[in-house]
Structure 1
Amino acid sequence: MMQKGKNIAIIVAAGKGKRMGRELNKQYILLENKPIVAYTLEVFEESEHVDEVILVVGENEMSFAQDNIIEKYGFKKIKQVVSGGKERQDSVYRGLLAIKEQCEIVVIHDGARPFLEKELLKKAVETAENIGAAIIAVPVKDTIKVVSEEMEVIDTPNRSLMWAVQTPQVFRYALLKEAYGRLIEEGLCATDDAMVVEKYGHTVKVIQGNYENIKITTPEDLVVAEGILRKEKR
């Protein structure tokens, strides 16, 4: 009987966070005296559905992450710290290439998204095991307009069909690695990981998430995050 491969999470924490208006990488901003990315990593450290973690950080941040995140907070599942690339897709691909052992499922998650529920992670992993690709998303609350460069409305899509995509995005490792390899080779761009497998005809299953699984990108997001954290502590 063939041995089942591992479930490995790639946490992407290489973004500079320009919209935050600070020099410090947004993942390291303190939220109640702990870096945002530490909250994120805790979810994976405690999940029985993830065996190992690869942390992707800025090329000048590898020592900082090792000392101030991994060792300080005692993360045991982080087996590698990888230097990120110019764009998010480059960082993810470097994470995929860093996997040298037998891997069944790969989980891609934003380092600045600290409020992922373990039950959602479990559902996403189990769905990817069955279907090959699964993403977390929530129905949009607002009406969406497609707008031209001249700032004129082109179209108003049916809101009931619109979903805001989050992470984790979970895939069979072989599927995502092959699709990413083709994307990079062809010089194409993708703004999320599901787009990569969609481009090559694979079905992606959507799992309804929750609105608190926010990505902390702006100063306003920090205020919301502090509120969520206070609520969780209560």
Structure 2
Amino acid sequence: MGSGSKQVALVVPAAGSGTRMGEEIPKPYLTIAGKTILEHTLLQFRQVDAIHELIVSTSEFFKDQTCEIVASVFGDIELTVIEGGAERQESVFKALQYVSDSAELIAIHDAVRPFVSKQLILECINEASNPGVDGSILATPAKDTIKEVEDAKYVVETPKRERMWQAQTPQIFKREVLLRAYNNATMRKLMGTDDSSLVEMIGGKVSVIKSTTDNFKITYPLDFQLAKLILSGK
């Protein structure tokens, strides 16, 4: 099923702080090569015709700047900027209240993953559109051996590495399933480490699209330096 047959709402949580970067400015609003990281990220999705609405959750201090950024990138689709919550999950939940009824799929993408390719976004949309699944996520096979550790000290188990994958975004789900998953988590006060984990909690079937390490999240100063090298090289 082609991506053009589904209408996709894009939700971008951008309310995170810059503490791990050692910056006062939140990471999405740091500038690289003349544009904020948020702008670089949104420009990747600008290339995808299936995106017909965008909801960005941010802090109250950056709402005006965010409105300017989204309008400059997406001038011709429905745009909503809201104040997010203290945690990512709360920010996404608040954003979901603004998704229109016409959206068949909801894509959630980290504001600080500016290198996702159009091709991978389309593959994720196409997979999530299939009737046999509830959603699709990008992920990469774990390179290192993963250890399950207790009390941050003792090894409990070594899972089979070939079964271990590192989740990325976008994570794209059928609208009704994602809303049900978030309502369930909110009602039962459950916290997930990503959106897929909440869908898994209600028994949802999530498919994996093999991604690349290029689609990294800018979390630490080293990530920021790498992003600067890549974007200035372009």
TM-score of the superposed pair, with normalisation by structure 1? 0.92
- 1:152 and 2:154 matched: yes
Structure 1 segment 1-234 matched on structure 2, within 5 A:
6-67=7-68, 69-71=69-71, 73-76=72-75, 77=77, 79-130=79-130, 131-149=133-151, 151-231=153-233, 233=234
C-alpha distance after superposition, 1:180-225 (max 9, x if no partner): 0111011111110001110011111000001010100110101221
Q: For residues 60 and 22 of structure 2, what CA distance do their matches in structure 1 show?
A: 20
Distance verdict in 2 for CA 1:41–1:8, change over 3 Å: same
Q: For residues 74 and 194 of structure 1, what CA distance do their matches in structure 2 show?
A: 27
Q: For residues 78 and 111 of structure 1, what CA distance do their matches in structure 2 show?
A: 18
Q: For residues 108 and 38 of structure 1, what CA distance do their matches in structure 2 show?
A: 16
Distance verdict in 2 for CA 1:150–1:89, change over 3 Å: closer
Q: For residues 152 and 46 of structure 2, what CA distance do their matches in structure 1 show?
A: 47
Distance verdict in 2 for CA 1:74–1:168, change over 3 Å: closer
Instruction: Indicate the SS of the match to 1:227.
Output: helix
Instruction: Indicate the SS of the match to 2:60.
Output: coil
After TM superposition, give the deviation of residue 150 of structure 1 in Å. 5.3
- Structure 2 counterpart of 1:92, which letter? V
After TM superposition, give the deviation of residue 74 of structure 1 in Å. 4.3
TM-score of the superposed pair, with normalisation by structure 2? 0.92
- Structure 1 counterpart of 2:165, which letter? W
Q: For residues 204 and 51 of structure 2, what CA distance do their matches in structure 1 show?
A: 23
Q: For residues 213 and 143 of structure 2, what CA distance do their matches in structure 1 show?
A: 10
Instruction: Indicate the SS of the match to 1:184.
Output: helix
Instruction: Indicate the SS of the match to 1:125.
Output: helix
- Structure 1 counterpart of 2:94, which letter? R
Q: Is the 8 A contact 1:82 1:98 kept in 2?
A: no
Q: Is the 8 A contact 2:44 2:117 kept in 1?
A: yes
Q: Is the 8 A contact 1:5 1:102 kept in 2?
A: no
Q: For residues 214 and 229 of structure 1, what CA distance do their matches in structure 2 show?
A: 13
After TM superposition, give the deviation of residue 5 of structure 1 in Å. 6.6
Q: For residues 150 and 217 of structure 1, what CA distance do their matches in structure 2 show?
A: 21
Structure 1 segments, 4+ long, off by >4 Å, are none
Q: For residues 210 and 161 of structure 1, what CA distance do their matches in structure 2 show?
A: 17
- Structure 2 counterpart of 1:160, which letter? E
Q: For residues 159 and 230 of structure 1, what CA distance do their matches in structure 2 show?
A: 35
Count of residues in correspondence between the two structures: 227
After TM superposition, give the deviation of residue 120 of structure 1 in Å. 0.6
